[in-house]
Amino acid sequence: MPDALATAVTNTNPNSCVNVQSGRLCKPWQISQAGLAFIETWEAFRAHLYDNDGAGGGGNTTIGYGHLVHMGPVSGAPSEAPFLNGITQAQGHQLMHRDLIDPQRIVNQRINVALFQYEYDALVDFVYNLRHNNQGVLNLVNTGHYDRVPAKFMEYTLAGGAHPNGLVKRRRSEANLFKDGSYDASH
């Protein structure tokens, strides 16, 4: 059953008058400190360039808390030059905050129903980790069927033709965060 607030927000009957109270927040949303910590736990700080994404092979050139330097493995590309000597954890935090601008913008623009802070944080982590092809989850949220969203997260566990254990755990963790506000990112 859809949430009462979502029903009121999405109700298109011009003659209806629905009074609803909710703990869900209205826009604009910003990621919470708990949401940042959740992402940091999943991304795990790396001071030097790496390209092993945990999916059993090479990945994209990354540094810090999942900051994408360029697509493809470490290769000596010009975009790697600023990071050749590594970065500090403080620099990693700066990169992550910059990288989160786009996922937060996407969620704020695409979601048309009110959210709890933890629901927003889960969606930002999801979009941060899956920059493209995330419309299915975001569209489902907009229907107001909040109860169906956790299962939808689990449809996004395929990487390189396999379902890597780490990705499955991350989606499960995002689903739990969205469902009941559990910021447990242990894996």
List average pLDDT for each run of 10 residues in the chain, which is 187 residues long.
51 63 76 97 95 68 95 95 97 97 96 95 96 89 97 93 92 98 91
pTM given for the model: 0.83
- CA-nearest of 120, 102, 100 to 111 is 120
Same domain, 28 and 50: no
pLDDT value of residue 56? 47
Same domain, 106 and 138: yes
The burial class, CB within 10 Å (0-12 / 13-18 / 19+), for 20 is middle
SS3 content of the chain, % helix, strand, coil (to 5): 50, 10, 40
Same domain, 50 and 8: no
Collapsing DSSP to helix, strand or coil, 71 comes out as: coil
Domain that holds residue 67: 44-88
Is 185 inside a domain boundary? no
Number of domains in the chain: 2
